[in-house]
Chain A
Amino acid sequence: MLAFILKRLGLAALVALTVSAISFSLLYIAGDPASAIAGESATDADIEAIREYYGFDRPLIVQYLEWLTNALQGNFGESYYFELPVSQLIADRLSITMMLGVCGISFALLFAVPLGVVAALRPNSFIDRFSLFLSVMGQAMPSFWFGLILIVIFSINLGWLPASGASSWRHFILPTIVLGYYAMPAIMRLTRTGMLEVLSADYVRTARAKGLSQRKILFKHALRNAIIPVVSLAAVQMGFMLGGSIVVESIFALHGAGYLAWESISRNDLPTIQALILIFSMFYIVFTLLADIVNAWLDPRMRVH
């Protein structure tokens, strides 16, 4: 198992580097970085000065190799925009995004899995229809709209929760709901389908015939198998939340890594974008790996592969 994990980790690092190499060149041709850094009202002289100062006049491959050498030593350089070490900048912001991502996925799992199970147990019942309604709503409602509605209700009218900022746990409640609700429908429907399938499987019928209690059948036999695809999905959703919580971070002024990535792209802040792409892709890979391990634990047959 350990060899399997190490091999996967090594592969993960290679994938992350490939991703960064491709994105490095893509970002570079998307627009002149000197001009983007200088801003909208810059003159030719400003742009020329910046081009020389940051060494953009050198060949792309030289710039990339220099970045790579430093990155392997843990040095991501200085942000062009903030003129602060990228590692420090990202450490500050990543903690907020991580917090938001973990809260979001926990919220989604906490509500989606039980709802999915109950819906599968009573197909076409009120609770099934209700969970279907919830999932349609969750998928149809844009995050910025839902976020604003929550702000209007809970911040402006009721005055219970802060609308923006990240200085206390209360600041995370509304963003967690918005982010978690977005991830809920897929998890819920996958749980429901998986449960329906498993509940009609032969081994469940056998278990029932043997006279096992409903609880035992449900949690020990059915859910354990039905949850396998959900784990993989949740891992991907978690990766998505880290990189994709841009809208939520922007509405609630959370200044996390997602928003930083988005802003850095518009500013062509190459060192920051590079580091973030590398970190985000590593997260994706690690989460997928973790999901594989959990699945292997849930279903011993998977360990063979």
Chain B
Amino acid sequence: MSVQIIKRGAVQAALLSSLSMMSFSAPALAGKSDDTLRVAFTKEVENVDSYFNSAREGVILQRTVWDGLVYRDPATNEYVGNLATEWKWVDDVTLEFKLREGVKFHNGEEFDADDVVYTVNFVADKDNGVKTQRNVNWMKSAEKLDKYTVQIHLKEPFPAAIEFLAGPVSMYPNEYYAEVGPAGMGLKPVGTGPYKVTSVEPGTHYQLEKYDGYHDSPKGQPKIGKLDIRTIPDVNTQIAELFNGELDFIWQVPADQAGKLAGMDKLTVANESTMRIGYLSLDAAGRTGADNPFTKLKVRQAVAHAIDRKTIVQALLRGKSKVVNTACFPSQFGCEQEVTSYEYDPEKAKALLAEAGYPDGFTTDFYAYRNRDYAEALANFLNEVGIKTNFHMLKYSALRELRMSSGTPITFQTWGSYSINDTSAITSQFFKHGSLDDARDDEVRDWLEVADTSTDPEERKAYYSKALQKIADEAYWTPLFSYNTNYVFSKDVEFQPTPDEIVRFATMSWN
């Protein structure tokens, strides 16, 4: 922690000094002159093959190199055809697609029903080890009806299918993939997407080039000729490279640094919320002991009243982050907003604690795994009303294991929903008696079950609404805030961020 603070202070000083010096040394190089957008990734992507990585950077590469059958317009959230032109539900578990004709993969292979059948059958087979099973395990198989018509069979009714087909499920060339497999695809990726990959240095450097044969896709035609993506783990080094013109585009820049960069003439700072929300999970089910205070409704309500979420958003998260009242991200399908909300009221919190039998408060273990500064602020608010916290910051895998085995009384958690714009991607993950469900409410589980499997959108909404209202009434979670991302790029670049935090290179252009 102290290292973090010192580092942050040191970085601020270094930045300030460099900012003051920038006045007499302007960046010289820029990607515009050679039509190459230079981008930094913070994380080493494990494998470019999109089915074998789980990082945000991997998702971005996936949308750049490959296409799905469907596309969701990030502005309107409407689904439009991409590699498919039409689709319909044949029954609850069968989707039929009419495929676009004349599409070619980057290696010249023609796209048709065989590619869809091969891709779906490969990824749906658990033995092939697709990393994010949730993205694919709802599919059973695919069947070719004719060269440009294909059916996808589901294991059971799954209304969010189209959302997944518009997102993580991308189409691979059957002949090429059968030959090279995931390892080969990771080193020489081939898709139908707006950019083709020209070189891969695993984890560290990717070069891409505009695909001139790109079909008439709703993603739009790429405008920038080349992309040069390097992994630079340190944000400060990224900023330095942005200053000296070696980079044109970075993102996930911390709020305080973004604030300073916003004042620079040659840079644009754009901010957009993401689908990730932060929340406190409370052990209402009594997994850590039946006498644990969080099994009492009034204690949970006291927690909700104890935290000044607005102040945390304004002081720490900033940007387009908002206070969240429901156990989902507001834009998600079925994310009911009309639920009981809890205003910041420490006196009321204290009164509720007294009513629950804790007039002097109590002491509890408090767990967190990321954003230590937010977690500490939360703990302070709890301390102020008498809930004394033993603060534990754990590695994610260790915390998860602890939560799965014996539970934790109160934990600061976050969830990004894989950028899936459907309530099933969050609420159903945590309230259907899974190992991370701290509420174990049978009624909520049953309602979510109906909402997750019904193919009638109105019925889905109604049942998500019931479940979310009860979650709020019972204060099982204390939903806190949505996260945001700062994008910093050269003034030469035109870019509009979207809430799904996917950087779409095809929509970018030079100013």
Contact = CB atoms under 8 A, between A and B. Distances in A.
B395 A266 contact: yes
A142 B11 CA distance: 12
Given A49-B133, A83-B186, A152 B17 contact: yes
Contacts of A57: none
Nearest to B135: A46
A174 B52 CA distance: 36
Interface in A15-66: 30-33, 35-36, 38-46, 49-50, 53
Interface string B383-412: 000000000000111101100100000000
Given A145-B14, A253-B231, A41 B401 contact: no
B415 A31 contact: no
B490 to A, nearest CB: 15
Contacts of B97: none
Nearest to B243: A156
B395 A253 contact: no
Nearest to B436: A44
A7 to B, nearest CB: 40
A211 B436 CA distance: 83
A164 B247 CA distance: 11
Given A152-B240, A156-B22, A81 B46 contact: yes
B234 A253 contact: yes
A169 interface: no
B398 A159 contact: no
A46 B131 contact: yes
B86 interface: no
B246 A163 contact: yes
Contacts of B18: 152, 156-157
A40 B21 CA distance: 40
A155 B14 CA distance: 13
Nearest to A253: B232
B202 interface: yes
Contacts of A159: 25, 28, 244
A142 B133 contact: no
A53 B129 contact: yes
A188 to B, nearest CB: 25
A82 B203 contact: yes
A176 interface: no
B50 to A, nearest CB: 13
B397 A35 contact: yes
Contact of B401 (A35, A82, A162, A266): A35
B137 interface: yes
B491 to A, nearest CB: 17
B128 to A, nearest CB: 10
Nearest to B6: A142
Contacts of A81: 46
Given A35-B401, A53-B129, A255 B183 contact: no
Interface string A162-174: 1111000000000
A38 B54 contact: yes
Contacts of B10: 142, 144-145, 148
A295 interface: no
B155 interface: no
A87 interface: no
Contacts of B434: 43-44
A253 B183 contact: no
B237 A151 contact: yes
A36 B396 contact: yes
A271 to B, nearest CB: 13
Contacts of A255: 44, 203-204, 231
A284 interface: no
B244 A156 contact: yes
B134 interface: yes
Question: Which of A30, A39, A250 is the most central at the interface, judged by chain B CB atoms within 10 Å of its CB?
Answer: A39
Interface residues of B, number: 57
Given A44-B435, A49-B126, A148 B47 contact: no
A149 interface: yes
B55 interface: yes
B7 interface: yes
B270 to A, nearest CB: 23
B183 A251 contact: no
A162 B243 CA distance: 12
Nearest to B52: A83
Interface centre among B11, B46, B137, B183 (most CB of A within 10 A): B46
B240 A163 contact: yes
Contact of B236 (A40, A50, A82, A148): A148
Contacts of B28: 159
Given A43-B134, A45-B134, A156 B21 contact: yes
B397 A33 contact: yes
B14 A253 contact: no
Pick from B11, B44, B230 the residue with the most CB of A within 10 Å: B44
A164 B133 contact: no
A84 B134 CA distance: 24
A41 B240 contact: no
A32 B236 CA distance: 32
A155 B25 contact: no
B247 to A, nearest CB: 9
Given A49-B133, A84-B202, A31 B395 contact: yes
Contacts of B182: 83
B237 A31 contact: no
Nearest to B137: A45
B246 A38 contact: no
Interface string B247-274: 0000000000000000000000000000
Interface in B21-71: 21-22, 25, 28, 44, 46-47, 52, 54-55
B233 interface: yes
Contact of A32 (B6, B232, B234, B401): B401
Interface of B: 6-7, 10-11, 14, 17-18, 21-22, 25, 28, 44, 46-47, 52, 54-55, 126, 129, 131-134, 137, 182-183, 186, 202-204, 230-234, 236-237, 240-241, 243-244, 246, 395-398, 400-401, 404, 415-418, 429, 434-436
6 contacts: A33-B397, A44-B435, A83-B182, A155-B241, A163-B237, A163-B240
Given A148-B236, A152-B18, 18 more contacts: A31-B397, A31-B401, A32-B397, A32-B398, A33-B397, A35-B397, A36-B397, A38-B131, A41-B54, A43-B133, A43-B429, A50-B131, A82-B47, A148-B14, A149-B14, A156-B240, A159-B25, A252-B237
